[in-house]
Amino acid sequence: MSRVLLCTGVRAETPYYIPSLGIRVWSVEELCYCLRENAYILDEEIVSKDMVTWLEEDCMLPDLANQLRPYLRQPGSMAAYVTGILEYVGYYPKEEIELMAGSFSAAGSASDFEKKKKRADLLVESAKYTKAYVEYSRLLRELPENEIGIRADVLHNIGVALTGLFMYNDAAYYFNEAYNYTNSEADFRDYLAAKRMSMSDSEYVKFVADMPDYYMASINLEADVDEILNNWERSAEEADLEELLNLKQLGDSTGYYQEVNRLVEGLKEEYRDYIQV
């Protein structure tokens, strides 16, 4: 049987803005969801007098506010503060809150660079590639030279973000930069794949032929490409294009253009999400 969730307090007329996350929330339930989804990147800034006041006055939760106020005077209380909100609201089961408490503690001990990287990672996972590229680039400028591990990860992930934006040649540059730090097979394969996507077939064949050391990696890459193509042929997207071709061949111009418009609008919406800053 599913849990019945009752709203706690009221929906605020004015949202609360969380500066460290760049997110606005309108209710304590939205706040709980935000805290859970960003558990690994929270920091002490989340312990805020302004938030406590908002919960008390805008969400009509004076008891919760009174429970949270002592944490405002206790350095290092972020995990207890956030857990206190989750437990009071009961939006998640007790067992899940206990698991999250460990994430909050880990976030509290993470370096600023690790938190910034995690924020950018979440943007990539959400297909917000332009935002992620901006965040990674800013972090790359801030990183000291001795932060080699994070620097290599950031370089690689910039490549991932640029791949999502179809900027394959630029992505190849960053994958290669990451490979120079790690010498890992994964970074090299990503570099080679990005080069392949940025070139015509004849250009890529010449590129690989000029680099004998790339031969085995290119053979393995081609096997992966064949598998991807086979999966594509069984995908919903390929079925949509097949249906489009059938409508055109049957002379159903009305159905054809309706389907074209549907697909184009979907692609436009995806593109807006990708480039939104």
Instruction: Please give the Cα distance from 232 to 19 (Å, whole number).
Output: 41
Residue 118 is assigned to a structural domain of this protein: yes
**104 with 165, same domain?**
no
Above 80 in pLDDT, residue 103? no
pLDDT 10s digits, 38-55: 887 787 889 999 999 999
Instruction: Please give the Cα distance from 111 to 143 (Å, whole number).
Output: 12
Q: Which residue has the higher pLDDT, 263 or 21?
A: 21
Residue 169 is assigned to a structural domain of this protein: yes
Residue 220 is assigned to a structural domain of this protein: no
**100 with 121, same domain?**
no
Chain mean pLDDT for the chain: 82
pLDDT 10s digits, 140-199: 999 998 889 999 999 999 999 999 999 999 999 999 999 999 999 889 889 988 998 898
Sequence-distant (≥ 6) Cβ neighbours of residue 209 within 8 angstroms: none
Domain stops at, among 171, 199, 227: 199
Residue 209 is assigned to a structural domain of this protein: no
Domain stops at, among 72, 87, 109: 109
Q: Total structural domains in the chain? A: 3
**104 with 120, same domain?**
no
**22 with 104, same domain?**
yes
Strand partners, 24: 17
When pLDDT is cut at 50, 70 and 90, the band that residue 272 belongs to is: low
Residue 174 is assigned to a structural domain of this protein: yes
**116 with 104, same domain?**
no
pLDDT recorded at residue 205: 81
**72 with 152, same domain?**
no
Residue 49 is assigned to a structural domain of this protein: yes
**116 with 178, same domain?**
yes
When pLDDT is cut at 50, 70 and 90, the band that residue 84 belongs to is: very high
Query: Tokens 């996507």 label which residue?
Result: 197
Above 80 in pLDDT, residue 123? yes
Domain stops at, among 176, 199, 222: 199
Instruction: Give the chain's count of helices (H) and strands (E).
Output: 14, 2
pLDDT recorded at residue 97: 86
| Neighbour count for residue 277 (Cβ, 10 Å) | 7
Domain that holds residue 251: 236-275
pLDDT recorded at residue 109: 65
pLDDT recorded at residue 228: 57
Residue 72 is assigned to a structural domain of this protein: yes
Above 70 in pLDDT, residue 60? yes
Above 50 in pLDDT, residue 6? yes
Q: How many residues does the chain have?
A: 277
When pLDDT is cut at 50, 70 and 90, the band that residue 276 belongs to is: very low
pLDDT recorded at residue 275: 44
Whether this prediction's pTM lies above 0.95 is answered by no
- CATH number (domain holding residue 151): 1.25.40.10
